Amino acid sequence: MKIELKEITIRELTNGYADNQENGVVGYGGKLDIRPPFQREFVYGDKERNAVIDTVQKDFPLNVMYWAVQVPLEGDLGGFEVIDGQQRTISICQYVNGDFSLNGLAFHNLTKDKKEQLLNYKLMVYFCEGTDSEKLEWFKTINIAGKELTNQELRNAVYSGSWVTDAKRYFSKNNRPKIGDEYLSGSANRQEYFETAIDWISEGNIERYMSDHQHTKDALDLWSYFQRVINWVKATFPKYRREMKGIEWGFLYNQYKDTMLDAVKLENEIAKLMSDDDVTKKSGIYRYVLTREEKYLSIRTFTDNMKRESYEKQDEICIKCQKQCKIEEMEADHITPWHEGGKTIAENCQMLCKECNRRKSGK
């Protein structure tokens, strides 16, 4: 990993500055990608923005910034992307561009010497260059000032390119297609929707998938896959419940998309389980009706009073092996299993020694 500290003047930084709205923000002679297209924005308020300019005008040091060196493609000159310092950078460029004033004075109102002082101010910038894995590790460990970057924002920086740029417009912007939001946890502008979609399609290998697609022209494959997942969910579980938000639907789709499922039968079972007091994790019902693994339901456990009552009734003896045990050496068990209709009530509780309970559970 090559990390080099550079001094960049504000004159150099603001040269070629252009805010192209949805198409991104550039500077440094057009070579610096200040805000890549469709990236989330954290806009400084007047107080924060003014503080940046006040610091510069007083010749006080700003915190160091980080730029990633972009490897040039064939026919491309390469360039840089701001990793940390986006809001400070935009504040400086906006002031020099005349977008706002400080203490009643815009940049063009300053005296010549004040203008020169500001334009000659030197920003301390780390140029970071290396392999994808090296850059990702570096960005995870540096002490990022201001808004801490999420893991996906760090990945976006490392694997920046045409694919990431295109994918963000589907998953990261407020004006993105509003498809599937009700099934996703997190927020779009912190790249969590984007991260979820890649996680699903890659079966958990997010960084490998992004590396493989970094220079792909567009992200239509990811967007098409995501839509297939959401359409499958809606067809399989047509009645929406708030418990459906945040489930790892993509992994279920990957496993069961080719399985013939009866939506009506599933809904009847889901409705019954939703009203079952023994099921303490309602969101797990959707995994359970597909996998039949009770661990997803977090079945209600017997209370200490129920355990003590059964222990005393059994004369401190394991029902199975008839061995006398201390209560802490025993575990509560459903006489009639939950999946056969047995409830978590005192009348359905028996105490088994740990060895017998393990044997019974393993059958």
Q: Residue 147's pLDDT is what?
A: 55
Q: Which residue has the higher pLDDT, 230 or 173?
A: 230
Answer whether residue 146 shows pLDDT above 70. no
Higher per-residue pLDDT: 100 or 139: 100
Taking the CA atoms of residue 23, residue 27, residue 32 and residue 37 in that order, the dihedral angle to the nearest 10 degrees is -10
The whole-angstrom separation of Cα 92 and Cα 63 is 14
Average of per-residue pLDDT across 13-29: 88
Is position 211 within any domain?
A: no
Number of domains in the chain: 2
CA distances to 65, 82, 139 from 126, rounded to whole Å, are 6, 10, 12
User: Alpha-carbon distance 81 to 77, whole Å?
Assistant: 13
Residue 341: Cβ-neighbour burial (10 angstroms; 0-12, 13-18, 19+): exposed
**Cα separations (Å) of 171 from 98, 168, 258?**
33, 5, 26
Task: For residue 288, give the amino acid letter.
Answer: Y
**Domain final residue, candidates 117, 149, 181:** 149
Query: What pLDDT, in 10s, does the model give residues 176-221?
Result: 899 999 999 998 888 999 999 999 999 999 999 999 999 899 999 9
- For strand 122-129 and strand 65-70, is the pairing parallel, antiparallel, or unpaired? parallel
The domain boundary residue, chosen from 149, 179, 210: 149
Structure tokens of 140? 């995870």
Question: Rounded mean pLDDT of 253-282?
Answer: 95
pLDDT at 190: 84
Q: What is the pLDDT of residue 342?
A: 87
Going by pLDDT thresholds of 50, 70 and 90, the confidence category of residue 72 is low
79's enclosing H/E stretch is: strand 79-84
Q: Is residue 252 part of a domain?
A: no
Is residue 21 included in any domain, yes or no?
A: yes
| Half-sphere exposure (Cβ direction) of 167: Cα atoms closer than 13 Å | 31
pLDDT in tens, 282-319: 999 999 999 999 889 988 888 899 999 999 999 999 99
The answer on pLDDT for 49 being more than 90 is yes
d(CA 206, CA 195) in angstroms, rounded, equals: 8
The pLDDT of residue 132 is above 60: yes
Q: Given a cut of 80, is residue 362 above it in pLDDT? A: no
Q: Is the pLDDT of residue 148 over 70?
A: no
Q: Which region, left, alpha or beta, applies to residue 185 given φ > 0 means left and ψ of -120 to 50 means alpha?
A: beta
242 burial level (CB within 10 Å; 0-12, 13-18, 19+): exposed
User: What was the pLDDT predicted at 40?
Assistant: 52
For the record, the structure tokens of 174 come out as 């407020």
Does residue 76 lie within any of the structural domains? Answer: yes
* Residue 76 pLDDT greater than 60, yes or no: no
257-265 mean pLDDT: 97
Q: Which of 149, 176, 191 is the C-terminal boundary of a domain?
A: 149
Q: Residue 69: inside a domain, yes or no?
A: yes
Residue 26's beta-bridge partner residues?
18, 33
CA proximity to 97, closest of 34, 179, 175: 34
**pTM for the structure as a whole:** 0.62
Distance CA 13, CA 121 (A): 10
The C-alpha atoms of residue 221 and residue 228 are separated, in whole angstroms, by: 11
What pLDDT, on a 0 to 100 scale, did the predictor assign at position 260? 96
The CATH code of the domain that includes 322 is 3.40.1800.10
Alpha helices in the chain (DSSP H): 10-14, 46-57, 86-96, 112-119, 132-141, 151-158, 162-171, 192-201, 206-213, 220-236, 249-256, 263-274, 285-291, 304-313, 354-361
Which of the listed ranges 18-22, 211-215, 255-259, 305-309 does the model predict with the highest average pLDDT?
255-259
Percent residues over pLDDT 90 in the chain: 62
> Which of the four pLDDT bands, split at 50, 70 and 90, describes residue 38?
very low
Tell me phi and psi for residue 293, to 5 degrees.
-100, 115
Question: Is there a domain that residue 229 lies in?
Answer: no
User: What strands lie across the sheet with 122-129, from one edge to the other?
Assistant: 2-9, 122-129, 65-70, 79-84, 32-35, 25-27, 18-19
Mean pLDDT in residue range 112-136: 90
Residue 204 in any domain: the answer is no
Task: Give the pLDDT of residue 70.
Answer: 78
Minimum mean pLDDT range among 117-126, 146-155, 218-227: 146-155
Q: What is the pLDDT of residue 150?
A: 80
DSSP string, 276-326: -TTB--GGGHHHHHHH--GGGT-BPPPPHHHHHHHHHHTTTB-TTT--B--
* Average pLDDT for 34-61: 82
Please report the pLDDT score of residue 75 as a whole number.
47
Mean pLDDT of the chain: 89
**Is 109 inside any structural domain?**
yes
- Cβ atoms of residues 130 and 136 within 8 Å: no
The phi, psi pair for 132, rounded to 5°, reads -55, -45
Domain carrying residue 337:
304-361
Residue 156 has pLDDT above 90, yes or no: no
Within 13 Å of residue 257, how many CA atoms lie on the same side as its CB? 12
* Other CB atoms within 10 A of residue 257 CB: 12
For the cut 50, the answer to whether the pLDDT of residue 334 exceeds it is yes
